[in-house]
Amino acid sequence: MSDNVKRRDFLGYSFAAVAAVGGAASLVAMKQTWDPLPSVLAAGFTEVDLSNAKPGTPSTVTWRGKPIFILKKTDAMEQSGRDLVIGSDRYTVAIGLCTHLGCIPAWKDEMWKCACHGGEFNSSGVNTFGPPPRPLDIPPFSVKGTVIVLGEEGPEYKQMAQA
Amino acid sequence: MRELKIFAVVVVITLITYWGIEPFAHSQMHPSVEPAEYSFGDVDGLKGMNGSASNGAELVASNCTACHSIESQGFPAVMDHETAAASYGVVPPDLGSSGLIYDENYLAAFIKDPVTASKLNHVFGDDKAHPMPGYDWMSDEEIADVVAYLQSIAPASMTNKEVFTDACQRCHSIHYGDMMGGSMAAYTPKAEITAYMGKLPPDISQHVISRGEKYLHEFINDPQKHLEGTAMPRVGLTQDSEAQVIAYMSEVGDSNKDERNSLGVKVLAYLVIFAVFAWLWKAKIWRDL
Amino acid sequence: MAQFTKANSVGEWFDQRLATNKFMKVMMTEYWIPKNVNFLWAMGVVLAVTFGILVISGIFLMMYYKPDVNLAFNSVNYTIMQEVAYGWLFRHMHGVAASVVFLVIYIHMLTGIYYGSYKKGREMIWISGMLLFVTFSAAGFSGYMLPWGQMSYWAAMVITNLFGGIPFIGDALVVWIRGDFNVADATLTRFFMLHVFLLPMVILGVIALHFYSLRVPHVNNQEGEEIDFDTEAEKYLAGNKKESKVIPFWPVFLSKDFAVLGIFFIFYFYLVFYHYSFAMDPINFEPANSMVTPPHIYPEWYFLWSYEVLRGFFFDIAGIKAFDLGLMAFGVANIIFFLLPFIDRDPEVLPAHKRPRFNIWFWILMVDLIVLTVYGKLPPTGVNAWVGFFSSITFLGLFIALPFVTKADAKARGAL
């Protein structure tokens, strides 16, 4: 009699375990359905030709829906370990989204000022005032001559990301 | 009685909170600017002169019609919109209505010096020439003649839409005005107008709501007041024509306004009746308790 | 099989099959509510009706709305607002109701806090109610994204960015939530799914739980008096309505609800027709532009107090970054209300005006919430930043102080 009870328990628990495994597998699959599509992940490469950049005036390009600030530094602007150095030219390449809450800062008086909560970034993209917790993020990029390809991680990017 | 007190407390707290987040906050975010003024006294206008329209006709025929059409007087456009945009940067306006919709002092000042009258000294200069040359080599009398001529050929009145198409549509599309047919696209193609202005002038289908009429009056009368450094010219509309432009924007952007206002009265009247009946029924049921 | 005889009326036919008479007694005519209540007790039904308005107006909006970043804005502001017969009315009703529902939710919540209706057996009512607050907030946030205006886009950007603050998984989590690196079409369509299907389903389920959780503990009354519902119900049924301390849900309690609704409708529809910019912000009538941040971004008013706690911490303290402090405070602020029944150490159910220290606490909380709300809208510069900081500290401090405040009241009264 007690053997029958134990077998029923064991069967019950095993069945519950099987159901749980099925449930967990379903949740994993659902999580994956929520993932960004492969076409979205793949489409993230943009080429930018730096040779036309005017020193001292940043330009903005779009990469993966985000604004990317590109600034060719004038000789007067301070040098930084974050600079992209190509020949004798120094560039700031940064994602143009304030690291506080994601608004786009505007270039004014030799710095990027964010209208949302007053954050300020200098010409190297380093946060100098206000709530932003860190400098402007650097997008992954690789260098081919005077053209940079946003989306690929080149050695220059890896070095700048450390600075 | 106690319930009335509780109700009063709830109402007062709600109103204080409402005041803080609406009228007060918005007054902090949008500091007020000088109201619109239509004398255009800051630039060199007619100086009280009255010109001769017949003299003006000759001057216009020999100086203006090379670039500007005047369809109503037999000067058709020599280029289509795309070609005109490619040549000048922007499609030049037809002058048939300019005498009515633009202020005469502004017109005189504009003809003499387009860049200063339209307040675009920060956009056009030695680096970038305005497509229209200035006519300050003409005498004040000749300028007054030109203005007199333009006023003489202008229609007596125009519809709201006509004022809009003449004053604004070269640069601004207002697609909601004709979603099916697409006739309310800007006359100047996107690539050209973006290069000319530095930025694509926005479609203004919903601007009567997103900006509001007060802002639009202040802005159209002097764009630099609200958006210092903008490439949008001050166009010199008279107060009436400006009101017509905004009325058109309202017809297009808030087309159900009249229905909303009239239906609102009926619905609220019904709801008062509903509330009266509800209270009477409640009173009857609670009387026994 | 149960015995079925010929029914003598339609009502009897249904009663034989569905026990409708018993059902009506249990749910309506013999569902007992205390008589000693004021109009604030009607807020529950006002909320149910407002939710009903949201669902019905939402159904009509769904007929024409297109959840695609290229089509959404015009489907709302051209097709629905200008072309569809009464489309503008349904849109106004939906937007204004979404805002007004939070006014009523806050009145309803604060009523519960004032009268102590969250403790001594009523904890599940309170917790299910707070779950409704959270799900309604999610519904409001996801709904606001749908017109795809400037505010829709940038509010989505800022709020989804917050998840990046979670250690280790933050950045990947943000991309996963959005379905893209940036707020994009994938984000819009999944928030459409949430807003239109999943959240309403969950809300309906939690409403059912909320209504059910009222049954055993019974609705509270203005004095916090413990009522013997069985005795009082017998008095009422015996015809002694004047002496009974209870009333039936139908028709008595609901008759007052309808009268309050009558006033509410006048207020609500006045806003729908004549004063709706607070709910349909003009900034959102500009199409979303990922490359242009509007000069002023702010959430809907009902999120402002919470938003202000988030940005109230604008400088590092003790080595913890301002951003992280803000995020933690924000997390705490949103959870703390759930814990109210357990932080309140006073064992008795009483209105605030019978708990002197709690009364002071309550009104300080009210003022603090108003200050946080108003300053959440203002640019956080200069003195505003400091007001935000101190009101955020006050908010957290109030909840830390609550156990002591309530214990002191109980001791003074001799209940502890």
Task: Determine the pLDDT at residue B239.
Answer: 96
What is the least distance, in Å, from the CA of B209 to any CA of chain C?
Answer: 6
- Classified as helix, coil or strand, B9 is helix
Report pLDDT for A117. 74
**Residue A162 pLDDT exceeds 80:** no
Q: How far is C187 from chain A (nearest CA, A)?
A: 10
CB contact under 8 A, B20 and C370: yes
Are C192 and C278 found together in one domain? yes
- For residue B166, give the amino acid letter: D
Q: Which of residues 355-394 of C touch A (CB under 8 A)?
A: 379-381
CA distance C3 to chain B (A): 39
Please check whether residues C292 and C314 belong to one and the same domain: no
In chain A, what residues touch C176 (CB-CB under 8 Å)?
Answer: 34-36
Q: What does the pLDDT look like over B183-235, one tens digit per residue?
A: 999 999 999 999 899 889 999 999 999 999 999 999 999 999 998 889 999 99
Asked if residue C281 and residue C142 are part of one domain, the reply reads: yes
Q: pLDDT tens across A143-159, in order?
A: 988 899 998 888 888 88
Residue B256 Cα distances to A161, B8, B178, B188, C273, angstroms: 55, 35, 16, 30, 11
Contact B121, B224 (CB under 8 A): no
B 203-262 residues with CB < 8 A to C: 203, 205-206, 209-212, 255-256, 259-261
- Write the DSSP string, chain A: -HHHHHHHHHHHHHHHHHHHHHHHHHHHHHHHHHSPPHHHHHT--EEEEGGGPPBT--EEEEETTEEEEEEEPPTTSPP-TT-EEETTEEEEEEE-S-TTT-PPPEEETTEEE-TTT--EE-TTS-EEESS--SPPPPPPEEEETTEEEETS--HHHHHHHH-
Residues 6 or more apart whose Cβ sits within 8 Å of residue C134: C334
Contacts of C157 in chain A (CB under 8 A): 102
Specify the pLDDT at position C112. 98
Are C292 and C334 part of one and the same domain? no
Whole-number pLDDT of residue C1: 67
- Which chain A residues touch C295 with a CB distance below 8 Å? 115
Q: Which domain holds residue C204?
A: 31-297
Q: How far apart are CA C203 and CA C50, in angstroms?
A: 13
Give the pair of three-digit tokens for residue B1: 């009685």
Q: pLDDT > 90: what percent of chain A?
A: 39
- Residue A103 and residue C161: Cβ atoms within 8 Å? no
Which CATH number is C46's domain given? Answer: 1.20.810.10
C146 lies in the same domain as C105 = yes
The alpha carbon of residue B218 is apart from the nearest alpha carbon of chain C, in Å, by 17
Confidence tier at A4 by pLDDT (50, 70, 90):
low
How many domains does chain C divide into? Answer: 2
Q: Does the pLDDT value for residue A1 go beyond 60? A: no
pLDDT over threshold 90, residue A3: no
Chain A: touching chains (3 or more CB pairs < 8 Å) = C
| CA atoms of B186 and B170, how far apart (whole Å) | 5
C359: chain B residues, CB-CB within 8 Å: none
In which band, very low, low, confident or very high, does the pLDDT at B113 lie, cut at 50, 70 and 90? very high
Q: Same domain, yes or no, for C315 and C381?
A: yes
Query: C314 in a domain, yes or no?
Result: yes
A74 — phi, psi (to 5°)? -80, 165
Give the chain A residue whose CA is nearest to the CA of C295.
A115
CB contact under 8 A, A102 and C314: no
User: How many Å lie between the alpha carbon of C52 and the closest alpha carbon of chain A?
Assistant: 30
Same domain, C288 and C313: no
Contact in structure between B85 and B162 (CB atoms under 8 Å)? no
The answer to whether C374 contacts B2, with C-beta atoms less than 8 Å apart, is no
Among positive and negative, which fits the CA dihedral C264, C270, C275, C279? positive
pLDDT in tens, chain C (416 residues): 677 899 999 999 999 999 999 999 999 999 999 999 999 999 999 999 999 999 999 999 999 999 999 999 999 999 999 999 999 999 999 999 999 999 999 999 999 999 999 999 999 999 999 999 999 999 999 999 999 999 999 999 988 988 888 889 998 999 999 999 889 999 999 999 999 999 999 999 999 999 999 999 999 999 999 999 999 999 999 999 999 999 999 999 999 999 999 999 999 999 999 999 999 999 999 999 988 888 888 899 999 999 999 989 888 888 888 888 998 999 999 999 999 999 999 999 999 999 999 999 999 999 999 999 999 999 888 899 999 999 999 999 999 999 999 999 999 999 88
* Phi–psi pair at B70, nearest 5 degrees: -140, 80
Name the most confidently modeled range: A7-11, A15-19, A80-84, B123-127: A15-19
User: Is A36–C186 a contact, with Cβ atoms under 8 angstroms apart?
Assistant: yes
pLDDT reported for residue A102:
80
Name the closest residue on chain C to residue B177, using Cα atoms: C78
Q: How near does any CA of chain A get to the CA of C33, in Å?
A: 43
CATH topology of domain A42-162: Rieske Iron-sulfur Protein (2.102.10)
Q: For chain A, which residues make up each domain, given as ranges?
A: 2-35, 42-162
Which phi and psi angles does C299 have, rounded to 5°? -75, 175
pLDDT of res. C161: 86
Q: Which of A33, A39, A40 to mutate to test binding with chain C, by most C CBs within 10 Å of its CB?
A: A40
Q: How confident is the model at residue A123 (pLDDT cuts 50, 70, 90)?
A: very high
Same domain, C159 and C284: yes
Q: Report how far apart, in Å, the C-alpha atoms of C328 and of each of C164, C332, C400 are.
A: 13, 6, 15
B83 — pLDDT class (breaks 50, 70, 90): very high
Which of A108, A117, A129, A137 should be substituted to probe chain C, the one whose Cβ sees the most C Cβ atoms within 10 Å? A117
B282: closest CA of chain C, how far (Å) = 5
Are C259 and C230 found together in one domain? Answer: yes
Q: Cα distance from B133 to chain C (closest Cα, Å)?
A: 34
Q: C256 to chain B: which residues are within 8 Å by CB?
A: 282, 286
Domain ranges of chain B: 1-31, 32-253, 263-289
Tell me if C273 and B263 make a contact (CB, 8 A cut-off).
yes
Maximum average pLDDT range among A80-89, A131-140, C384-393: C384-393
pLDDT at residue C74 in the model: 98
- Our answer on whether A and B touch (3+ beta-carbon pairs < 8 Å) is no
> Average pLDDT in the B135-147 region?
95
pLDDT above 90: residue B58: yes
- In chain A, the percentage of residues whose pLDDT exceeds 70 is 95
| Model confidence, pTM | 0.92
- Cross-chain Cβ contact C269/B271 below 8 Å: yes
Name which of A59-63, B239-243, C340-344 the model is least confident about: A59-63
**ipTM at complex level:** 0.93
- Give the best residue of B209, B227, B254, B255 to mutate against chain C (max C CB count within 10 A): B209
- Cβ distance of B282 and C258 shorter than 8 Å: yes
CA distance B284 to C12: 29
| C176, C186, C295 ranked by CB distance to A115: nearest | C295
Q: Quick one: pLDDT band at residue B1, thresholds 50, 70, 90?
A: confident
Domain end among C270, C297, C324 = C297
Residues of B in contact with C295 (CB under 8 A): 29
Interface test with A, best of C159, C181, C327, C328 (most A CBs within 10 A): C181
Residue C363 is classified by DSSP as H
How sure is the predictor about A39, in pLDDT bands with cuts at 50, 70 and 90? confident
Under the banding of pLDDT at 50, 70 and 90, the label for residue B249 is very high
Cβ-count burial B44-82 (b if 16+ within 10 Å, e if not):
bbbeebebbbebbbebbeebbbebbbbeebebebeeebe
Asked if B133 reaches chain C (Cβ–Cβ under 8 Å), the answer is: no
pLDDT band at A79 (very low <50, low <70, confident <90, very high): confident
Domain assignment present for C132: yes
**Which chain C residue lies closest to B278 (C-alpha atoms)?**
C259
Token representation of residue C20: 């409708």
Does a structural domain hold residue C25? no
Looking at the complex, report in whole angstroms how far the Cα of residue B180 sits from the nearest Cα belonging to chain C. 11
Domain boundary among C247, C265, C297: C297
Q: How far is C262 from chain B, CA to nearest CA, in Å?
A: 4
Minimal Cβ distance to C322: which of A115, A118, A133 = A133
SS3 C248: strand
Contact C161 A60 (CB under 8 A): no
In chain C, which among 284-343 make CB contacts under 8 A with chain B?
A: 284-287, 295-296, 301, 304
Query: Are C323 and A116 in contact (CB < 8 Å)?
Result: no
Residues C123 and C267 in one domain: yes
pLDDT value of position A108: 84
**Which residue type sits at C90?**
F
Residue C11 lies inside a defined structural domain of this protein: no
